[in-house]
Amino acid sequence: MSKKVFVVTGSNKGIGYGIVRGLAEKVADSVIYLTARNTTLGDQALKKVHEELGAKKKSEILFHQLDITDEVSCQKLASHLKEKHGAIDVLINNAAIAFDEDEVECSEQQVELTFSTNYYGPKTVSRYLVPLIKSGGRLINICSSLGMMKNKYSIDRIEKFKGTYTEADVDGFVEDYKRACKEGNRTESGFPKTYYPAYQVSKAAEIAYTLLQSAELKHRSIIVNACCPGYVATDLNNHKGQKTIEEGADNPIYLTTDQNIPNGKFVIENRKVIEWP
């Protein structure tokens, strides 16, 4: 019987690292890919997780370079996985970035980087790796409860996602926000303007896209969920979060390994399913 293969993006530190470490402790006789944009940091993380786990490690952990904003990098990982394993069992899209651009004028560079990493990045990774997921496999997109839309967006923005929508609609939502930033009219355009606003919009878009993926992959019996790990102390929030890396990894690991999990849902901390948007 071939070993199960798990791929975790952005996993040289933070929640992604916690997921890799937690899976290696829980899942036996499998292969877990720790990935990072920077090869040196990835190699250091690989060495660290082996040292920390020691005899507790039940599965093989390997490193492969992956920059989710670089299509060639995504292609290379997909080619490697196909050549070495033929297929994968689980993809966890974890890599993310955030800027607290509360000022009236948001930085165009920060906004572009936020969406290329948090929304278009997971889409690119999925385009190359989802075809490799076995029937009955799983796809988990690490999102955030900040992606909830109630009381933060205009009614028409919220209503758009209550009914039937398309990937083009989600792309349009993202591009509308980027345009509103350039024009300086985020509030008038129905978007939030304070507390990591670009991050909020990127995660709302990622949740919306996840729910589309669930419907599209149903015929292959692939279980797809979006999840929030909670407010975890990581570099992303300057370590302001109250939860530990291990606590943050609990929800993604549950959705990866448990037999009785939901499908096509947004699962927040404490494994609670909530309706989006």
CA dist 232 and 248 (Å) reads: 6
Among 65-74, 114-123, 189-198, 255-264, whose mean pLDDT is lowest?
Answer: 189-198
% the chain with pLDDT above 70: 98
pLDDT score, position 104? 46
Residue among 177, 196, 199, 209 flagged as catalytic: 199
CA angle 273/274/277 to nearest 5° reads: 145
The strand pair at 60-65 and 30-36 is best described as: parallel
Tell me what the mean pLDDT of segment 202-223 comes to. 99
Q: How many Cβ atoms are within 10 Å of 159's Cβ, its own excluded?
A: 12
The CATH number of whichever domain residue 21 belongs to comes to: 3.40.50.720
Number of structural domains the chain divides into: 1
Full DSSP string of 139-207: EEEE--GGG--TTTS-HHHHHHTTS---HHHHHHHHHHHHHHHHHT-TTTTT---SSSHHHHHHHHHHH
User: How many residues does this entry show for the chain?
Assistant: 277
Condensed to tens digits (0 to 9), the pLDDT of residues 163-208 reads 999 999 999 999 999 999 999 999 999 999 888 999 999 999 999 9
> 3-class SS at 124?
helix
| Dihedral of alpha carbons 166, 168, 172, 178, sign | positive
Residue with tokens 């304070």: 194
φ/ψ region of 139 (left if φ > 0, alpha if ψ in -120 to 50, else beta) reads: beta
Predicted TM-score of the model (pTM): 0.96
CA dist 212 and 169 (Å) reads: 11
Residue 211 backbone phi and psi in degrees, to 5: -65, -35
CA dist 101 and 111 (Å) reads: 9
pLDDT band at residue 236, thresholds of 50, 70 and 90? confident
Is the preceding omega at residue 277 within 30 degrees of 0, hence cis?
yes
Q: Which residues pair with 104 in a beta bridge?
A: none
- Is residue 199 among the annotated active site residues? yes
| Dihedral of alpha carbons 2, 255, 94, 39, sign | negative
CA dist 200 and 182 (Å) reads: 17
- In which domain, by residue range, is 206 found? 4-274
